[in-house]
Chain A
Amino acid sequence: MPYRYREDVAIADVAFEAWGATIEEMFVAAADATLNAIVTDLNAIARVDRRTLEAAAEEVDMLLFQLLQELIFYKDAERLLLRVTEVTIEERPGHFLLSAQACGEELDPTRHDLIVDVKAVTLHRFKVEPAAGGEGWEAFVILDV
């Protein structure tokens, strides 16, 4: 799994690291980490409903913040559990744009083993940067639960 939960940080919440060979792959991993904090088995989510998620920000890290926040929004507003399948990031003068494809289904406690409700993405220690070894990208995120 290209993400790992950190047990030693923010003990009342859920902290994770995510990686990817590209920034887009890392975003997909971080989206899965967020969803996996809510549902035990991501494979139990059928790919029935599709949504296109969009974000715009001056800094690339805030694109990740907004993408994860969109997943949390759909979980409450439409009771949808969405997995992000594809991410496209474009750099424009002075800002970045993100478009993501996501699919999933309405949450069903009889089929989805639900763990905890994620309330928000926090900015405490929030980080999106090229990986330490020089290859790929990594993120550090704390979710408020």
Chain B
Amino acid sequence: MAKIKDFKKISETIWEIPRSYKEGMRVPARIYASRGLLEEMDAGVIEQVTNVATLPGIINHAFCMPDGHWGYGFPIGGVAGMDVDTGVISPGGIGFDVNCGMRLVLTNLTFGEVRPHLRTLVDRLFARVPAGVGGAGFVKISQNEFRHAVEQGARWCIKNGYGWEEDLERTEEHGCIVGADASKISSKAVERGFKQIGTLGSGNHYLEIQVAKPENVLDAEIARAFGITMPEQVVIMFHCGSRGFGHQVATDYLQSFLKVTERKYGIKILDRELACAPFRSPEGQDYFAAMKCAINMSFVNRQVILHRIREVFSEVFHKDPADLGLHQVYDVAHNTAKVEKHVVGGEVRQVLVHRKGATRAFGPGHPELPEIYKHTGQPVILGGSMETGSYVLAGVAGGAQTFFSTAHGSGRTMSRAQAKKRFQGKKLQQDMEERGIYVRTASYAGLAEEAGPAYKSIDDVVTATEEAGISKRVARLVPVGVVKG
């Protein structure tokens, strides 16, 4: 494994691995991290980010964000921009859980108002938003209708009464990425996912009720623009993805890419999980159109969950969701590849940006941002561990260096097995309750795996992104109620 001395220090938070590190690297790799975070990173990150640097068409650098850890193909936290004409698209640069992402929702309630109802809220959310293995959602539609839904994304939800028109402009791609083509998805993918709309899944997926304490609001002006305006304001954050549908789309295309990567296109890869095809090839375009359906499924999933959250709060407080201020701040995607315009070598070029466990973070004035966030930069929702807290950040102009990408969470530092040995789910639940965090879980073993110490310090991760100039801290949010998959 590379040691600190092998890295070229670009700044206190940017470390470069030169092309000479591994045969076949077309560009250097850059890891964004403080020295401490870099020393904590596992061997997999170095192996994988340097493998990514060998892919055809990669521009500037293969990046890894401060929350980076061992993944498959790309590291988690991996970002790579590919030239759209000479570059490749790889399912291993996106992940199986396509558009796994985060949504942040406001309330106009203070923690004092919510506290007496906290258990009821969490219990009802746990009942209404199925979590864990094999959960089925309440939206009952045919396989054919599901195909329409994944082409239309969150727009399909609004048409069917699961949300507000304003939710769309507060979602990446307005909740519907253009070019999703359901003729490119397998019947197997549809069978696997069509009953799962409105479900959380498991692992690191969660739904939390959180509080923005006044001392944790770090940029009051941007926080106000994001809707965090009062002391002890309660917000809701959740994390989930495209469920079995997205996993199957990725699996289908991983297998078909394996047959063409080297044999048809002569591309040598250092890890079969990096199976890829030229972006402009028929295989590349088919996968791109199918993967977009998975991106949309994830928007549909989170939109329906938002609808359930509004129902639950409305029932408990006997008020209309609008009167409770249940507005969405934003919805961000983690695992995607998108064609975006970026400045490369002084010229504006189209770049296919792979983000795997990384968040898009456009700076102020970016043309893709909705009017409400034009002056602030894009809201970036960063989930920490269930014990410690999460953040909302904002995109900054300096993000151009990473194709406007930043971290996506705190990043694991302890294996799931180690966490299960060290923590006991039921005991952890009791301990957290004593500390004022009420938890419902679909799996005590799963809960133990998600214990706070299994993750890096979220504060260190966000500080590193700010010091590196790729995003800016706005507010830290602490959990008081947790639904865990």
A interface residues with partner B (beta carbon < 8 Å): 5, 7-14, 38, 40, 62, 65-66, 69, 72-73, 75-77, 79, 107, 109, 113-117, 119-126, 142, 144-145
Contact = CB atoms under 8 A, between A and B. Distances in A.
The winner among B132, B203, B258 for most chain A CB atoms within 10 A is B203
B449 A73 contact: no
The winner among B92, B134, B250, B414 for most chain A CB atoms within 10 A is B134
Contacts of A120: 96, 247, 250-251
B192 interface: yes
A76 B72 contact: no
Given A76-B192, A122-B72, A14 B416 contact: yes
A40 B425 CA distance: 14
A124 B416 CA distance: 18
B309 to A, nearest CB: 21
Interface residues of B, number: 51
Contact of A109 (B132, B191, B251): B132
B188 A73 contact: yes
Interface in B388-431: 412-418
22 contacts: A7-B417, A9-B70, A11-B44, A11-B70, A11-B412, A13-B416, A69-B251, A73-B191, A73-B244, A77-B192, A79-B136, A109-B133, A113-B443, A114-B133, A114-B202, A115-B133, A115-B445, A116-B202, A116-B416, A123-B272, A124-B73, A145-B203
Nearest to B420: A115
The winner among A107, A109, A142, A145 for most chain B CB atoms within 10 A is A145
Closest 3 CB pairs of A and B: A124-B72, A76-B244, A122-B72
Contacts of A65: 255
Contacts of A40: 445
A75 B133 contact: yes
A50 to B, nearest CB: 19
A124 B204 CA distance: 21
Interface string B181-203: 00000001001110010000111
Contacts of B192: 73, 76-77
The winner among B191, B247, B258 for most chain A CB atoms within 10 A is B247
B446 A116 contact: yes
Contact of A107 (B44, B133, B449): B133
A65 B202 CA distance: 22
A75 B192 CA distance: 9
Contact of B416 (A11, A69, A73, A122): A11
Contacts of A77: 188, 191-192, 244
